[in-house]
Structure 1
Amino acid sequence: MHTLLPFFIAMIAAVVLLCMLANKIRVAYPILLVIAGLLISLIPGLPTIKINPDLIFFILLPPLLFEASWTISFKEMQKWWRIISSFAFLVVLFTAFSVAIVTNYFIPGFTIALGFLLGGIVSPPDAVSIGAITKFVKISRSTSAILEGESLLNDASSLIIFRFALVAVGTGQFIWQQAALSFLWMVIGGVGTGLLLAWLFVQAHKRLPTDASSDIALTLIEPYILYWVAEQLHSSGVLAVVAGGLFMANRRLFFLNSSSRIRSYNVWESFSFILNGIVFLIIGLDLPEIVDGLRSKGIPLRTAIGYSLLVTAVLIVARIISSYAALIATLIFRPGVAPRVNSRLGRLLTPLLLGWTGMRGVVSLAAALSIPATLANGNDFPYRNLILFITFVVILLTLVLQGLTLPYFIRRANVFRDYPGEPPETAKQKLLQGLRSHTYQFLKDKYDNGMQDHGGMRQWLQHWEEKMKASNEDWMSRKTKTVFLEMLECQRQYIAELNKDPSVDEELIREQLFLIDLEEERLKLSMR
């Protein structure tokens, strides 16, 4: 333990430094971390990294899913739920099926069950990789919502396929009736468990005398509770975390105060950054050990690389085909919700770019490592080392190949730059103008008659009357701080109601709510 502790501390330091370098050279940090991990692993004398799948499934995955569900726009998910659902479930199934057919045909002795096992492992794209790569280019709200929503749900569907295939490999049989019932329970039980526990968590935050520190501490353990309880009930822990996280995220205004919201944002951003960085660094560090395991089974490295390239090509082609199929289905059955583009060429290129966003990562790594070394009868698990090697190469290739080229393709295609509806700056100005008018009317209706002789209140009303026509001003009156806090709550209610309008960008809503929280915290500090 004492020898490994400095190594893990050095890993965290390396993550921070490499992310700084990635931002400077404008490369997505998962790409740089994987390559750096691979190079570091070649240094002689370093301790061997043996990854326990429980480390990823039960320690890293729940908080990462929980954090992602808090940051995604639920309103955009509702708007694009058809294409998100198709990518999260149908496309994952189609991808796994394609991998199963191709590997069964090209890899000697590789059964259909093993093919589905491998397909379930490598089918889900990684949300962190996509987000890190697309932050250097401008993409539309619809595309961002589709990618983020898909990444939240496809982990569950791929792990369900993986579990069924694992049972089929171990027992040599597959009973469709039992599989269908198990699938329904995993989905319904996972979502139901997540919603029920999330409701209990919300009540606990509201009714217990919590402060910012205790609220943050509770949110840190809640994803683990969601995941563990759902898994104990033999349902999907991933869906439980996602459903519970979405439920709580859309009620954060009602059970967390401004201090808890602001501080938890910073804590969770740093926490998820460290977890993601460690995972991608470990991917590169563990590849040499996988190669050694492959050689111990007598599989030539060149042959294994060829199989890995084949599976990677199948994944990319299957996702691109699925993207075009989704666009065609949308244009036929729901043309009104099809993404708006400037030209026919843009419409043709959009599915191609969407299909090129299939970088793999955390979930694929965890699933591959969780394959048992032996079957129930004591025999070695067939092709385990080859499956591990293919998974690691797929993660590496999709991150490097697609990750490095995706920003260039998006800039060259120029199909994601125009937002549907009014420009973001116009929408922001309209939101601020409505907020100022609402605030002025609130002060005038409630305090104008009762505080006519109050000099500070007259100045305040005059200020907000002018603020409806002007931009920002730096102002404060100590005598009116209590009224100001009440006014801020009124602003929150107005913003929350405005968020129900589908045409209003939820990013603008969250930005204004965050600014209101900051203003309230500043006032509370000055009143102490």
Structure 2
Amino acid sequence: MLHDFPFYLGIIAIILLIIMLAEKIKVAYPVLLVLAGLAISFIPGIPTLHIEAELIFIIFLPPLLYEASWSISWKELWKWRRIITSFAFLVVFFTAFSVALVANYFIPGFSLALGFLLGGIVSPPDAVSAGAILKFVKVPRRFSSILEGESLLNDASSLIIFRFALIAVATGQFVWHEAAASFVWMVVGGAGIGVAIGWLIMKIHKYLPTNANIDIILTLITPYVMYIAAEEVHSSGVLAVVSGGLLLSNKRLWFLSSTVRLKSVNVWESLCFLLNGLVFMLIGLDLPEITAGLGTVSVSTAIGYGLLITLVLVVARMLSTYAAVVITLIARNYITVADTRSPGFKAPVLLGWAGMRGVVSLAAALSIPVQLADGTDFPQRNLILFITFVVILTTLLVQGLTLPWLISKIDMPDPDFVKPEEEVYNAIRVHLARHGLKSLKENYGSKLENETVLQQIALKWESACDMDENENMAFSEENKAIYLDVLNKQREWLLNKNNSTEIDEEIIRRHLLYLDLEEERLTLL
């Protein structure tokens, strides 16, 4: 391991360079990372990479799911709960069933149980890939909310299918009532354990004498505690992390200070940035080991099977999106739905095409045991691994590269937010200033007459209240450049002042932090 340490450091450096290149050429970085890993794997002398499934399930998956559950809007998640849950469970089940039938019919040696195993592996779309692509294009908020919400839950449903299929292959039987009871426990138990641990973590943050560093470290270990605790009692670790993360995210203002919230955002963004980069690079690097295990099946034949399964996934998701629209249009006559308007053909096309596969599919395939309990080789394990790799690579390249083009061609308007974002931002700013000024005058009127600092704050808010709510008060690019230059000159003065022994460095650092916050504020103006 130590011998290969420089290699892994080099991989991290390459990941950073590739992500910078992806930002430059406006391409989703998962696509370039997989291709780069694939190219590096063919270089002579490169260490053969063996990825343990536990590495992804235990090390990578909990923090990535936890960060996603903190990022998503609970309001949007609840608003679109019906279509999100249908995509996360019903569509995943339908996709796995479709894959099982096709694999059983077209791939020699594939039983229905093996087909369901493969279906459970490749059925969940990857949230990271879709999120990276949507950064470069503008889509309606409801579209991204549905994708984000689906991605939080579909991993759990697909892994449940995978676990049941694995038992069926190993034992040769499938007991429906036992499977149903196990499914209920995995869902209810996983969600319950996540909420319970989340509640306990809130109490620890709130009532124990922690500081910012301790609070941030607690946020780092929380998803691992949730995941491992749920898996130990054979419930869904994924649902535990998601449910606990949603609870803590929704209550963050209650138990985390503003300092912790500000610092933890940077920590978590950096951590998940690195984890995502490593995962997609590892997918490409693992190809030689996967290909070497094919045995008697030729590479061309295995590629053909992979492309066939990819086609099934695309068609099944497209059919599911249009079926969801039809069902919603019928259901609106009997129940209250989030939106009674018909979405037309545009939204289903985009939602159906955003089905890139990624980390969870790879981890599930790698977790298939090499041998059964009786010592015989697990049937079709290497072929399942190769098909999974082809599905991931094909969906990332084909759908990942064409989704931005498709979004730009369809040009779907946002029915939820008709006002420009900047106009809404400024309107809220005005109302917020009015509310603060009113509260200051009503509750601290006597103080306001004598305290200069409070008078300055009131003056600032009065100035904001005088703005027209529709007036665009955003900095021009020229003004931003001027202000940034002034901030840089102030930094230089502070750094020169720091050489003086008369001033405490901690004071200098506090002023440098203020300048950093001012520069960050520029990005929001």
TM-score (norm 1): 0.87
Q: 1:324 and 2:322 equivalent?
A: yes
Q: Which residue of 2 aligns with 1:468?
A: 465
Deviations 1:455-481 (A, max 9, x none): 5544543442232113699xxxxxxxx
Q: Which residue of 2 aligns with 1:509?
A: none
Structure 2 residue identity aligned to 1:261: R
Structure 2 residue identity aligned to 1:315: L
Q: Which residue of 1 aligns with 2:88?
A: 88
Q: Which residue of 2 aligns with 1:35?
A: 35
Q: Which residue of 1 aligns with 2:148?
A: 148
Q: Which residue of 1 aligns with 2:391?
A: 394
Structure 1 SS opposite 2:124: coil
Relative to structure 2, which stretch is displaced further, 452-461 or 128-137?
A: 452-461
Relative to structure 2, which stretch is displaced further, 277-286 or 411-420?
A: 411-420
Structure 1 residue identity aligned to 2:7: F
Whole-angstrom CA distance in 1 between matches of 2:453 and 2:191: 52
Q: CA deviation at 1:426?
A: 2.9
Q: Which residue of 1 aligns with 2:507?
A: none
Deviations 1:378-407 (A, max 9, x none): 111110111000000000000000000000
Any conservation in 2 of the 1:125–1:359 contact (CA below 8 Å)? yes
Any conservation in 1 of the 2:329–2:340 contact (CA below 8 Å)? no
Whole-angstrom CA distance in 1 between matches of 2:219 and 2:455: 43
Q: Which residue of 2 aligns with 1:13?
A: 13
Any conservation in 2 of the 1:258–1:520 contact (CA below 8 Å)? no
Q: Which residue of 2 aligns with 1:333?
A: 331
Q: Which residue of 1 aligns with 2:423?
A: 426
Any conservation in 2 of the 1:92–1:154 contact (CA below 8 Å)? yes
Q: CA deviation at 1:81?
A: 0.1
Whole-angstrom CA distance in 1 between matches of 2:516 and 2:266: 15
Q: CA deviation at 1:212?
A: 1.2
Change in 2 beyond 3 A, CA 1:175/1:467: same
Q: 1:381 and 2:378 equivalent?
A: yes
Q: CA deviation at 1:435?
A: 0.3
Whole-angstrom CA distance in 2 between matches of 1:282 and 1:454: 60
Q: Which residue of 2 aligns with 1:197?
A: 197
Deviations 1:501-520 (A, max 9, x none): xxxxxxxxxxxxxxxxx989
Relative to structure 2, which stretch is displaced further, 164-173 or 283-292?
A: 283-292
Deviations 1:80-134 (A, max 9, x none): 0000000000000000000000111111221000000000000000000000011
Q: Which residue of 1 aligns with 2:480?
A: none
Deviations 1:300-336 (A, max 9, x none): 1111111111000000000000000111111111377
Structure 2 SS opposite 1:347: coil
Q: Which residue of 2 aligns with 1:361?
A: 358
Structure 1 residue identity aligned to 2:61: L
Q: CA deviation at 1:211?
A: 1.3
Q: 1:214 and 2:214 equivalent?
A: yes
| CA RMSD between the two structures | 2.0
Deviations 1:10-47 (A, max 9, x none): 11111111100000011000000000000000000011
Structure 1 residue identity aligned to 2:302: A
Q: 1:407 and 2:404 equivalent?
A: yes
Deviations 1:312-367 (A, max 9, x none): 000000000000011111111137746698xx8x7112201110000000100000
Q: CA deviation at 1:430?
A: 2.2
Identity across the alignment (%) = 59
- Aligned 1:269-280 pairs, distance under 5 A: 269-280=269-280
Q: Which residue of 2 aligns with 1:487?
A: none
Count the aligned residue pairs. Answer: 474
Structure 2 residue identity aligned to 1:408: W
Whole-angstrom CA distance in 1 between matches of 2:516 and 2:252: 17
Whole-angstrom CA distance in 2 between matches of 1:131 and 1:522: 26
Change in 2 beyond 3 A, CA 1:245/1:460: closer
Q: Which residue of 1 aligns with 2:115?
A: 115
Q: Which residue of 2 aligns with 1:47?
A: 47
